[in-house]
Structure formats: C-alpha cells, structure tokens
Amino acid sequence: MTEGGFEREPVALDARITSDGSTAWPVEAGRYRLVVARACPWAHRSVIVRRLLGLDPAISMGIAGPLHDERSWRFHLDPDCKDPVLGIEYLGEAYRAADPDFDAGVTVPAMVEVSSGKVATNGFQQLTLDFSTQWTAHHRPGAPDLYPQAHRDEIDEVIASFYEDVNNGVYKCGFASTQEAYEKAYGELFGRLDALSERLADRRYLVGDTITEADIRLWVTLVRFDAAYHGHFKCNRQKLAEMPVLWAYARDLFQTPGFGDTTDFVQIKQHYYGVHHTINPSGVVPLGPDVRPWLDPHGREALGGRPFGDGTPPGEPVEGERVPSIS
C-alpha cells in the first residue's frame, strides 16, 4: 500500500444468516433487526434491497442517527435516544452483547437478534446477496431478481471492478494522509468512473436489462458524490452533475422506487461534515448543493430495459421509514 493510504478494516462479525441451517443464524421472520444509518452507503444498499424485495415485514429496521463518537453509532433521533425495539443507546452495546471483549469497528449495517440483543452479522459485502438468495421465502409477490443466476458471474466481476476504485476509492481520497496516496486514489477513482461512463453510454443498467445488485452498489456512492465526496473528500475533478452519462444514470435510479425515497441528503451531509473532525475541524455543514435537479428528466428510457424485470415496483415506504422528499 502507498504510504499514507487508507485501508478499510475487515468486519469482525461476518457470520451469515442462511435458509438451510448451515450456519448458527437461521433465516426466521421477526428474529432480526437490521440496524442502519441513512448517511452510510454500505447501510444504504441494505435499505434499498430490503425495500425492493419487500422484506420489511420479516426484518424490522432500526435507524441510527447521522452523528456518532468514539462509542459508536447512536440512536440519537429516537425518543430517549434509544432504539425502540432493542432498547440500546449505542450500537456498540449489541456488539459487546455478542462479544464482551469486542474492540473492532462498530459498523452499519448490522443484523441484530432481537431476543438476545446480539449482533449476528455485520458482513456488509454478503448481507444484501443473502437477502436476495436466502430470504426468498419472505420476498413480496413481484419482488425483482436482483442477483439473477444467469448473470451472477458478470455481476460479481463488475462489482469487483469498482469496489476498490469507487466505493472504497472516495474514502481513499478523503482519508489519504500523503499527497502521493491521495493522487494515486484520485487517478484510480476518476479512471474507473470514466470506464463506467463508457459502459453505461449505450446500456441502461450495468448488467443485463434490469436493475441488479451491481447497480445498487455503484449508485449509493454516486448519490453521495456531489453532497459529500466532491468537496469533503477532495474528489473534485468533476461533480457527478458534470459527468453526463453517470449523472443521467444516477437520476434514472433516483427516480425509481426504492432509491430516491430511501435517500436523506440532510443526514448524509450531517454525518460526513459533522463526524470527520480531522478533515472538517469546524463541523460546519454546507447548505448546498441544490438537490432539486435529481428530479430532472434523464432520458434513459430510450435505452430500453425493464427496471424490475418480470417483477413490480415496491409499494410506498412503511410508516416511520419515510425520508424527506425533494420539493
């Protein structure tokens, strides 16, 4: 690794929740609570997949606020600053319930067993794939196939192509502590975004003609780009709004049920600008950018494609999970 480069720590509780009883954590409706934060892209993709597949009756959702400290993500937006189901103030309490000696990173998303209050898994890379493949008995009628068998190899390959350079790449830029590390990450980030622009110039989605896991994983980074990464993380060759193909692609998905209606730009900015004190010591949160252009026509329908394949759009967000709308 280049000196001064950012390296993401591996998750510590990466067990899987499976349908066949092959792991310690079986699929069971009502047993787990998905803890997320609106600000976090890794958590956001689990929110999107849960909503598209209609898993909300089977998996409840707790939402940590955008601010946290050394004690971990905190439920500071809930009454009495406690999650109403788990009864905890800090997510770290659920990690220590699973392992009293836990001293690694407390991350979202995390699946917490409601009865014991223990984190079952924070394996963010596998979690959404398991929502698609292990929780099928609890999918809603008309749930889309986000990880179709015929395209899995290509989906995995595409995801792998942009994970380090884009999903993780924005963090490599933002947390680089040397000029050399920053410039290396910056070049890799925009080189990959240019390649993705070429790929998406004549196709509506990354793989096949429907929305897949690959689109969800790329999009959660794109939707935060101008609000946080362009300025806060110094990813400033161009704004997303100045990259025509990716900007249209991102707007197309934003206007698709499950994407824009799970996005909270206010909490995104509150988190990035309010928590990373080494980058933004003042904690001042910018008022911009104007988010209304996310609703502008995108023209991507001309490329064809069927957003949900043979499935249907999800219904309205459930009460208590709505985000502020753009007006």
- Check whether 294 is labelled as a binding-site residue: no
Q: Are 125 and 22 in contact (CB under 8 A)?
A: no
- Active-site choice (147, 171, 205, 273): 171
Q: Is 182 a catalytic residue?
A: no
What is the residue-wise DSSP string for 141-204?
A: TT---SS-GGGHHHHHHHHHHHIIIIITHHHHHHT--SHHHHHHHHHHHHHHHHHHHHHHSS-S
Would you give the DSSP letter of residue 124? Answer: H
**Separation in Å, CA 188 to CA 124, 163, 185:** 23, 11, 5
- Active-site choice (40, 205, 272, 273): 40
Q: Is 81 a catalytic residue?
A: no
Tokens representing 265 are 């730009």
What is the residue-wise DSSP string for 2-31?
A: -TT---PPPPS----EESSS-SSEE--TTS
Would you give the DSSP letter of residue 90? Answer: B
Using only C-alpha atoms, what is the Rg of the chain?
19
> What is the spatial distance between Cα 196 and Cα 161, in angstroms, rounded to a whole number?
10
Question: Residue 281: phi, psi to the nearest 5?
Answer: -60, -30
Q: Annotated binding residues, as ranges?
A: 73
Q: Annotated binding residues for glutathione, as ranges?
A: 73
Q: Which residues are known to be catalytic?
A: 40, 171
